[in-house]
Amino acid sequence: MNAHDPGWAQHRLLASRRREFLGAPIHALTMAETLAIADEAMTLRRPLHHVVVNVAKLVSMRNNTELREDVATADVINVDGKGVLWGARLCGVALPERVAGVDIMINLLSLCAKRGFRPFLLGAEQSVLDAVGRRLAKDHPSLVVAGIRNGYFKPEDEAGIVEAINASGADCLLVAMPTPRKERFLKRHRDELTPSFVMGVGGSFDVYGGKVARAPKLIQAAGLEWLFRVAQEPRRLWRRYYDTNTAYVGLLCREFWDRRGRRKVDL
């Protein structure tokens, strides 16, 4: 890539904004910058793999080599959770704002409708996809969805699904599957997939389709979105969030003191 390449400015921006926190690479990008990068990738037909990191994923990456590699090799890595944003800032990593995966997806769908890009929706239950389709028809009547496929398939079905995605002529691919399944799928088929912008969106279809309620803005701003989720499904989620958050606090404390110690040595 050289200075005359149409994607050179994007390459330089991503390189200059790359940071590291708890051993994970992240990009210090705003929502507007992230959407501009996605727009450019789809316009230029340039492959771009996007992921987000939250507390749960950062903790999982410490013990899951495959997941850590899947995230580290992505082209754009946004900070999804408030816990990661505040923790990184506490450790001296300058980040402009939280760029939540569900918000990226919603804004990306709006961008597709305005610019004539065609998304492919992969994952979630069929009933959720049906609800997403109904809402999209209401929110963005002009949007053409390249294709949809629920997330209930076997490993041997993946080759056919990749063929269907490519045959659809999709400009972007949104994968609504849990971690680490979506990361594994995208890493495994990254070189085969033809949509320019590919992104794992986790449970965002559930939110957009109305299956799961999202926390009010004030709760999101307070960094308590996880507690809102636990309140909705306490039996299933309380232990997961307790274990994850406890582990994260321990990692964050060690990271803070390690960085502080290195700064004193440098002085």
Model confidence pLDDT, tens digit, residues 158-188? 999 999 999 999 999 999 999 899 999 998 9
Residues 31 and 145 in one domain: yes
More confident residue, 238 or 119: 119
Domain-located, residue 39: yes
Residues 200 and 232 in one domain: no
Residues 77 and 195 in one domain: yes
Supply the range of the domain harboring residue 237.
225-266
Residue range 11-25: average pLDDT? 92
Domain-located, residue 177: yes
pLDDT higher than threshold 90 for residue 9? no
The distance of Cα 3 from the centroid of its chain, to the nearest Å, equals 29
CA-closest candidate to residue 186, choices 76, 105, 34, 38: 76
Residues 79 and 137 in one domain: yes
pLDDT higher than threshold 70 for residue 116? yes
115 token code pair: 């610019």
CB atoms closer than 10 angstroms to residue 134: 12
Domain-located, residue 20: no
| CA–CA distance, 95 with 18 (Å, rounded to integer) | 10
Domain-located, residue 215: no
pLDDT higher than threshold 90 for residue 87? yes
Residues 181, 133 contacting (CB under 8 angstroms): no
Domain-located, residue 3: no
Strands of the sheet with 76-79, listed across from one edge = 76-79, 48-53, 197-200, 172-176, 119-123, 147-149
Task: Output the pTM of the full model.
Answer: 0.92
Domain-located, residue 6: no
Report the half-sphere exposure of 26 (CA within 13 A, side-chain side): 30
What is the pLDDT, as a whole number, of residue 227?
87
The H or E element that residue 165 is part of is: helix 158-167
pLDDT tens for residues 200-251? 999 999 999 999 999 899 999 888 898 888 888 888 888 888 899 999 999 9
Bridge-based pairing state of the strands 24-27 and 18-21: antiparallel
Domain-located, residue 2: no
